Chain A
Amino acid sequence: AVRLAPDLPGTPQIVAAYDVHAAAARSTRNWYAVLDLKPGRSLTHDDIKKQYRRLCLLVHPDKNPSAAADGAFKLIQAAWDALLAKHPPLGTAAAPAPAANQPAPPPPAAQRQ
């Protein structure tokens, strides 16, 4: 669709929303894929935060009129919560991760489709 009609409004938003769903459906617990990140040593808290914000602007239902936006945003949120626990901000590495005792729910929207 991006190739065929580049002028169609909102296409990047819709594609982003479906990408999120697709990534979540491929593997239930790979939160890195949901945020379109590559896991690795070099991945920092700020990288994740930046990517999370970028995706928020794309798929938040306020910004994205497609029906997939709501579910996609919830998936991003779950991924963010899960990754935040793994990559705490610099300087607070020793702090106990608050999300650890509350495992992020499995992608709900993917199951319902």
Chain B
Amino acid sequence: MRPGYSPFPLLLPPSTSFSPLRTPRIARPQQLLFSYPKKRHRAPPGDSPTRRRRRRRRLAKMAEQLYTVASDSETTGEDKSQPSFPDVAIGIDIGTSKCSVAVWNGHQVELLKNTRNQKGMRSYVMFKDDTLSAGVTGGAAKENAHEERDILSGSAIFNMKRLIGRMDTDEVVQASKTLPFLVQTLGIGVRPFIAALVNNMWRSTTPEEVLAIFLLELKALVEMHLKHPVRNAVLTIPVAFSRFQQTRIERACAMAGLHVLRLMPEPTAVALLYAQQQQQLVNDNMGSGIEKIALIFNMGAGYCDAAVAATAGGVSQIRALSGCTAGGEDILQNIMRHVVPNFDNLYAGQTMDRIQSMSLLRMATQDAIHKLVNQETVEINIDLGNGHKVSKVLDHSEFEQVNRAIFDKCEKIINQCLVDAKLVPEDINDVILVGGCSKIPRIRSLVLGLCKKEISYKNIDALEAAVSGAALEGAIASGVNDPSGSLDLLTIQATPMNLGIRANGDSFAAIIPRNTTVPARRDMLFTTTHDNQTEALIAVYEGEGERAEDNHLLGYFKITGIPAAPKGTVEISVCMDIDATNVLRVFAGVVKPQGPATPPFIEVRMPTLDDGHGWCGQALAKMYGKTLDLAVLPKKLQP
């Protein structure tokens, strides 16, 4: 198809865009225990001293390389001394509950297993006296049942993905207060305080830090497997993640010494895998090669997303995306509240006995939900301590009743996806259900019912699809070329949310509407709202709300030196640009009147805000009122 094409990164490595500025230099936490040096030391019987010495030297060299990557990010991909391995990005799926990692091994995507032979590793970090251990290796626990009890003891932090980049006024953070570790909120719009129980003391940490520790262990696992350092990664994220949350994920990766090549919404990673499978069918002369439209529904423990993708010739174009924060965790909490009606009173404060009793309830409820997938009814019998016993039989109709709000949310995002893609259910060729919660019978029947389908697409593993897609994207974005053509693929991404600025008072003017193909560049003209207005405030928001305040503030800047003129005559252009790596830049400046008296344009990379998003908008309003406002220039006045 493309003659004479060979992996280009040798000449122009994609990693040249990798700026050391974005990656803080952070040394590896010393307390982390890596299992592989120990393993390599174990000499096989009958080993000669010379060979052992040689191996030790090789090991030392390897450790050196590892060190270079972890702490000195200025070494770029051009290091010609190690050309033996191409720098292929790995794919990571960080789930609310489980994580997995996959790599392109030159022929296909390979999912990696940890030392306990698990592909899906529980996402948590255990805090002990002076050691930290993440779910990758399983920490101290040897058995799964024991592990679960340890996780819920208060010493482990989990559900990082639901907490990262959220303010303490966020309802998801509020709901996380029932978790066994400490989530303290003050309700003023700053990051929550989270802490793990160590020696009967709450020790503080942050979601980014916890995620970084986890990623570091994950990275060590991959490096042990590939026997060379790993630098780049493609991560999957929920559709509902704001751009600010994305920067938090990037920061956690940087702390772990990983450079984020792409952040892919989870359903789009699945779409890429689907595109590859369709392409293979065409190559085997079994598929027709005409365009196929797939609806992908992904529901995990923390988030729920839907996407519509049109696939033909290995190109998968994302037509629509939508997502919300509803997942297995919400189902679990609903059931816990249903089983123990005075749940909130009972577990108001986090004392040792309450944490223990709640962890028992959590485990029993989780177990019951899992059983209910295959059974008609399930019995919950637990002794919560203090003479409090719970005994309840739960059936499907009751389960659906309790979680109706969640199923409604799922229905809403699927319908929105279909409307946005301008499709009717009959247009859909395949329905792909992925994620842990896609096993729930009600979810399956709901999605299939909305798409008027009898069965879902079968060739995709519900738990491994996202990570496999991420690894594929990693190989493609790293410039790997496969002679058999199985990498002649492309995902054309779309924006999941409207991007725009505040204008016409408190309204939100969307400059790049949602589901716009990325890379994208759109501009819009604005004008002044006061006579002789010389300054204007550009407040950039992301979201679906009609009013600017309902959306997420990404950043703001001021245009100064606007020539004095009657209101409504000056033309100010605001242009938004998203490049292939999903970086958002905003350009703004005066376009009319032209001349040497106008100030130069301003280019700002978003998001600029680090914290206190709610506050900033209020503070700006208080400080300046309407003096710096802009209005959308009506279309009929535009040339």
Contact = CB atoms under 8 A, between A and B. Distances in A.
Given A9-B11, A77-B517, A105-B522, A53 B315 contact: yes
Given A62-B476, A62-B490, A105-B522, A12 B14 contact: no
Contacts of B9: 65
A11 B14 contact: no
A58 B39 CA distance: 46
Nearest to B291: A49
A53 B4 contact: no
B422 interface: yes
B12 interface: yes
B5 A10 contact: yes
B479 A65 contact: yes
A10 B521 CA distance: 25
Interface string A68-97: 011001100100000000000000000000
Interface residues of B, number: 33
A70 B580 contact: yes
B18 to A, nearest CB: 14
A29 to B, nearest CB: 13
Interface string B80-121: 000000000000000000000000000000000000000000
A6 B9 CA distance: 18
Interface string A1-43: 0000011111111000000000000000000000000000000
A74 B518 CA distance: 8
A64 to B, nearest CB: 9
Contacts of A13: 2, 5
A92 B445 CA distance: 30
A62 B8 contact: no
A21 to B, nearest CB: 14
Interface in B1-60: 2-9, 11-12, 14
A57 B491 CA distance: 10
B523 A12 contact: no
A9 B4 contact: yes
B378 interface: no
A56 B422 contact: no
Contact of B521 (A6, A11, A65, A74): A74
A74 B512 CA distance: 13
B568 interface: no
A57 B580 CA distance: 14
Contact of B8 (A53, A65, A77, A98): A65
Given A53-B315, A56-B492, A105-B522, A98 B4 contact: no
B216 interface: no
A62 B580 contact: yes
Contacts of B2: 12-13, 58
Contacts of A98: 422
Interface residues of A, number: 26
Pick from B2, B14, B523, B579 the residue with the most CB of A within 10 Å: B2
Contact of B579 (A53, A61, A105): A61
B307 interface: no
Nearest to A104: B522
A67 B625 CA distance: 43
Contacts of A56: 315, 490, 492
A9 to B, nearest CB: 4
B320 to A, nearest CB: 13
B366 to A, nearest CB: 39
A8 to B, nearest CB: 7
Nearest to B290: A46
B312 interface: yes
A63 B4 contact: no
Interface in B444-498: 476-477, 479, 488, 490-492
Q: Is the interface of A mostly helix, strand, loop or mixed?
A: helix
A49 B291 CA distance: 10
Nearest to A9: B6
B488 A57 contact: yes
Nearest to B473: A62
B599 interface: no
A12 B3 contact: yes
Interface in B572-595: 575, 579-580
A57 B522 contact: no
Contacts of A58: 2
Nearest to B1: A57
A96 to B, nearest CB: 11
B617 interface: no
B521 A53 contact: no
Contacts of A62: 476-477, 490-491, 580
B5 A9 contact: yes
Nearest to B7: A9
A63 B291 CA distance: 21
A56 B492 CA distance: 8
Interface string B231-273: 0000000000000000000000000000000000000000000
A69 to B, nearest CB: 8
B520 A77 contact: yes
A60 B490 contact: yes
Contacts of B7: 9
Contacts of A10: 5, 8, 11
A98 B521 CA distance: 18
Contacts of A69: 580
Nearest to A2: B4
A108 B291 CA distance: 30
Contacts of B3: 6, 12
Pick from A11, A56, A74 the residue with the most CB of B within 10 Å: A74
B563 interface: no
A70 B521 CA distance: 10
B314 interface: yes
Contact of B492 (A60, A74, A105, A108): A60
Interface in B199-244: none
Contacts of A108: 521, 523, 575
Interface of A: 6-13, 49, 53, 56-58, 60-63, 65, 69-70, 73-74, 77, 98, 105, 108
8 contacts: A9-B7, A12-B3, A53-B313, A62-B490, A63-B490, A65-B479, A70-B580, A108-B523
Interface of B: 2-9, 11-12, 14, 291, 312-315, 422, 476-477, 479, 488, 490-492, 517, 519-523, 575, 579-580
**8 closest cross-chain pairs (CB), A and B:** A61-B580, A9-B6, A65-B8, A65-B12, A10-B8, A53-B315, A9-B8, A77-B517
